[in-house]
């Protein structure tokens, strides 16, 4: 006896599921310039590697016991491979009720995508195109319901401390999916088609009487430049998928593994003559911080995170002799490199990421201090500074700081950790202290300057006297601080990163700093 009839029904049901929300929804998706859900999965996955689960879940309509119509769940889930490494993927299908709501079973419910990611210890990839909850579900249920979404969202929080988690915003994403966009270690949105908000323009109109477009409410201009809710922006969906692939390539599959080393392609002993003159002697001149950063890591290996937000600090992932590292550098072309609330937030997220996934931290420091002024005060710079100090002191991963130029105040303190494997070098161009001499003299010598016959001359005299004490070599005499030829910086990084591996191996699987988005 054959089971061909049942196999035919299985294939028919799978075909109905692949029809998604129907021709009208598909046409609307295409009109908006967006890929369909399975096209997205095919575009990001290694060819032929996608293995869908819960493909038959949805809502069927029957007549005389025969299936007449089937509406699939508004999300496609499964496992796929990225560059040969398996990950779990969940992708919203906007053609099915705008991707809103979810499919909840009862007794015997299969594991969700998030649960499988946690139990399999596999990276988690969200392709978000969903409107969140909808009042239409009230009619389906025949009642309203209490907002108990944390019963499921707790899994998304667990993910952050177990496996690399990434989110791509690929449409107008509202409600809980908008929060899920931020419950990630890396996020990206696509210019022209992506927005996130708790509630869209109709909700804003009802609540505030304000007419606003979805673009002005929450597109990439808002969230990758001002709010910092999303890390990166991509020109196309394909570019977003490439960024996800690259980000994950630096990280282990989970906290219980070491990050993968790639075959080195750059000379570990390479020296860059340009570093000898990279730091200008004039205090008014700036320099290209990215050039300095790229000169000391493996060529072409830098992946920048949040390049448009908190621009006084450049943060990202890179490789040093093939080993993945987290790296950051102050950017003197924005706020003089001073750490404001946004730049500090970026730096802390990078520290958390490195600590969680066993990456050495490299800090290239030219730190004038925390940002001052009324805007910084309104943004809560002191509380942000307190969080940053607490984050630095709570980390455990190997940390190397190279002081390129300035290192002042409590923000300068945040480039140093007094515990664990920590190493610091300084270039001859370095200068440091509790505060800048120029600004500090006016405060510390206020009475002496005011009582002088020529206050300006007195101020200049005191500044000159103190500048004579500012040589890094005088500090080295007293503290043993190592000062190096800038051209040898890459060699120092390579040696440190190799030494760091034995420390990192001992941290694998041991709970570290909890990751907070």
Q: Is residue 283 part of a domain?
A: yes
Q: Are residues 297 and 190 in the same domain?
A: no
| Res 434 pLDDT > 70 | no
pLDDT at 511: 77
* DSSP state letters, 275-320: GGGSS-SSTT----HHHHHHHHS-TT--EEESTTSSTTEEEEEEEE
Q: Domain check: are 277 and 208 in the same one? A: no
- For residue 452, what are its two tokens? 């002088």
In this prediction, residue 14 carries a pLDDT of: 85
Task: Examine the domain organization and report whether 278 and 204 are in the same domain.
Answer: no
Task: Report the pLDDT value the prediction gives residue 210, as an integer from 0 to 100.
Answer: 94
Lowest mean pLDDT among 89-93, 331-335, 491-495: 89-93
In a domain, 468, yes or no: no
Question: Does residue 433 belong to any structural domain of this protein?
Answer: no
Most confidently modeled range among 4-13, 132-141, 251-260, 466-475: 251-260
Given a cut of 90, whether residue 63 has pLDDT beyond it is no
The pLDDT of residue 202 is above 60: yes
Residue 322 within a domain: yes
Mean pLDDT of all residues belonging to the chain: 90
Q: Which of 388, 349, 131 is nearest to 231 (CA)?
A: 349
Q: Which residue has the higher pLDDT, 445 or 422?
A: 422
- CATH number of the domain to which 379 belongs: 3.90.226.10
Q: Give me the pLDDT at residue 146, please.
A: 77
**pLDDT for 23 beyond 80:** no
> Quick one: average pLDDT of 322-343?
97
Are 198 and 279 contained in the same domain? no
Residue 406 reports pLDDT greater than 80 = yes
pLDDT value of residue 405: 96
Mean pLDDT check: name the lowest of 338-342, 412-416, 458-462, 503-507.
458-462
Clarify whether residues 234 and 199 are in a common domain: yes
Distance CA 476, CA 473 (A): 5
pLDDT at 219 over 60: yes
Residues 241 and 371 in one domain: no
> What is the residue range of 21's domain?
4-249
Q: Select from 215, 249, 283 the last residue of a domain.
A: 249
Tokens of residue 31, six digits? 């009109």
**Is residue 352 domain-resident?**
yes
DSSP letter (8 states) at residue 59:
E
pTM: 0.92
Residues 232 and 297 in one domain: no
Of 292-296, 355-359, 362-366, 475-479, the one with minimum mean pLDDT is 475-479
The answer to whether the beta carbons of residues 43 and 78 sit under 8 Å apart is: no
Query: How many domains does the chain fold into?
Result: 2
| Whether residue 141 has pLDDT greater than 60 | yes
* Alpha carbons 293 and 317: distance in angstroms, whole number: 11
Q: What is the CA radius of gyration of the chain?
A: 27
Query: Residues 394-406: what's their mean pLDDT?
Result: 97
Instruction: Please write the tens of the pLDDT for every residue from 265-319.
Output: 999 999 999 999 999 988 889 999 999 999 999 999 999 999 999 999 999 999 9
Question: What tens digit of pLDDT does each residue of 25-36 get?
Answer: 788 888 888 999
């Amino acid at each position: 006896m054959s089971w061909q009839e049942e196999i035919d029904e299985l294939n028919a049901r799978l075909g109905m599921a692949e029809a998604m929300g129907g021709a009208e929804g598909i046409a609307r998706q295409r009109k908006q310039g967006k890929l369909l859900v399975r096209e997205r999965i095919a575009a990001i996955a290694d060819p032929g590697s996608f293995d869908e689960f819960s493909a038959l879940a949805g809502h069927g309509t029957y007549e005389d016991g025969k299936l007449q119509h089937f509406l699939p769940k508004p999300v496609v889930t499964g496992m796929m491979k990225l560059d040969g490494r398996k990950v779990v993927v969940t992708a919203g299908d906007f053609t099915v009720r705008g991707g809103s709501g979810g499919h909840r079973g009862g007794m015997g419910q299969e594991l969700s995508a998030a649960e499988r990611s946690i139990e399999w210890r596999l990276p988690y990839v969200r392709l978000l195109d969903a409107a969140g909850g909808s009042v239409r579900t009230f009619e389906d249920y025949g009642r309203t319901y209490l907002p108990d979404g944390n019963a499921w969202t707790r899994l998304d929080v667990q993910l952050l401390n177990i496996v690399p988690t990434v989110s791509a915003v690929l449409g107008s994403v509202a409600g809980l999916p908008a929060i899920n966009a931020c419950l990630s270690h890396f996020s990206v949105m696509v210019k022209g088609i992506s927005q996130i908000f708790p509630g869209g323009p109709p909700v804003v109109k009802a609540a505030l009487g304000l007419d606003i477009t979805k673009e002005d409410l929450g597109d990439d201009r808002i969230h990758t430049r001002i709010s910092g809710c999303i890390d990166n922006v991509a020109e196309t969906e394909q570019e977003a998928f490439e960024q996800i692939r690259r980000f994950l390539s630096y990280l282990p599959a989970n906290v219980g593994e070491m990050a993968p080393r790639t075959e080195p392609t750059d000379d570990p002993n390479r020296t860059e003559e340009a570093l000898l003159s990279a730091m200008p002697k004039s205090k008014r001149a700036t320099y290209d911080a990215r050039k300095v950063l790229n000169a000391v890591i493996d060529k072409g290996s830098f992946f920048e995170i949040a390049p448009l937000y908190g621009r006084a600090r450049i943060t990202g992932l890179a490789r040093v002799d093939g080993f993945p590292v987290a790296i950051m550098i102050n950017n003197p072309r924005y706020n003089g490199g001073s750490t404001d609330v946004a730049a500090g937030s970026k730096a802390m997220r990078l520290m958390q990421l490195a600590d969680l996934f066993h990456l050495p931290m490299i800090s290239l420091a030219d730190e004038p201090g925390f940002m001052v002024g009324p805007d910084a005060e309104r943004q809560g710079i002191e509380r942000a500074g307190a969080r940053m100090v607490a984050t630095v002191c709570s980390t455990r991963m190997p940390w190397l700081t190279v002081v390129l130029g300035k290192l002042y105040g409590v923000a300068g303190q945040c480039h140093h950790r007094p515990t664990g494997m920590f190493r610091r070098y300084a270039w001859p161009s370095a200068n440091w202290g509790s505060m800048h001499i120029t600004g500090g003299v006016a405060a510390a010598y206020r009475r002496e300057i005011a009582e002088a016959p020529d206050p300006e001359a007195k101020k200049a005299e005191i500044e000159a006297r103190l500048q004579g004490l500012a040589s890094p070599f005088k500090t080295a005499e007293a503290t043993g601080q190592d000062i190096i030829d800038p051209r040898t910086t890459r060699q120092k990084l390579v040696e440190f990163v190799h030494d760091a591996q034995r420390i990192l191996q001992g941290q694998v699987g041991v709970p570290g700093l909890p990751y907070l988005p």
